[in-house]
A = this chain, B = another copy of it.
């Protein structure tokens, strides 16, 4: 593990569990426990978590929807706020990966759920709340129309987080990703499909700039 990363970039090390065996995840978690370090684990699906050693499993604060686990105490609260805006229920895994990553780093996130543009009034009803945030993470799958609509309505930085829900031409999230990148709304930026962790890290870089540590 690259324990110095936090000092260098302000972002703590995290463990991406998708490409690792349970034994490898166990070893990393035990090392962190022994050294008293905090650790964020992502893409730890329930089956893989079940295969960890009991000692590690009990030490983890686990969330099944986002497949994330946190070892150790949360970071001290940071100033600044992030709105995480979703189109529907299928966006929750990625959205929660983002909110959990933010929480791990001490950042406050407001979840504005289920405001997809096929029912525009739902989004309009919560617009003021969204506008109060320093940074907006917009989460959407299918055709990703939420990204353009939202970026045209707020002045804050908007990070588009496309998700892989959808069928036929929208399956896999490429269409939603394209909607973020090809948007006619100015100043929208995107992260990879389902990359809630990355969207949160981008938000943290921006928050750190806006609210630099004293």
A68-124 at interface with B (beta carbon < 8 Å): 87-90, 116-120, 122
- Report chain B residues within 8 Å CB of A194: 167-168
- Report chain B residues within 8 Å CB of A178: 143, 169-170, 175, 178
Instruction: Tell whether, in the assembled complex, residue B195 and residue A168 are in contact, meaning their CB atoms are under 8 Å apart.
Output: yes
Copies of this chain, tallied across the complex: 8
Instruction: Tell whether, in the assembled complex, residue A184 and residue B118 are in contact, meaning their CB atoms are under 8 Å apart.
Output: yes
- Report chain B residues within 8 Å CB of A180: 143
Interface membership of A46, Cβ < 8 A: no
Interface size on A, residues (CB 8 A): 80
Given contacts A181-B193, A190-B190, 14 further A-B contacts (CB under 8 A): A9-B154, A118-B183, A120-B149, A142-B183, A142-B184, A143-B180, A145-B149, A145-B183, A156-B209, A159-B189, A170-B181, A181-B190, A188-B202, A206-B209
Interface membership of A157, Cβ < 8 A: yes
Instruction: Tell whether, in the assembled complex, residue B209 and residue A182 are in contact, meaning their CB atoms are under 8 Å apart.
Output: no
Cα A70 to Cα B157 in complex, Å, equals: 24
Cα A186 to Cα B12 in complex, Å, equals: 10
Q: Which 4 residue pairs of A and B lie closest in terms of their CB atoms, listed nearest first? A: A19-B90, A170-B182, A168-B193, A187-B201
The smallest beta-carbon distance between A141 and chain B, in angstroms, is 8
- Report chain B residues within 8 Å CB of A156: 205, 209
Interface membership of A166, Cβ < 8 A: yes
- Report chain B residues within 8 Å CB of A24: 89
Interface membership of A148, Cβ < 8 A: yes
Q: Contact check: which of B5, B89, B170 meets A119 at CB < 8 Å?
A: B5
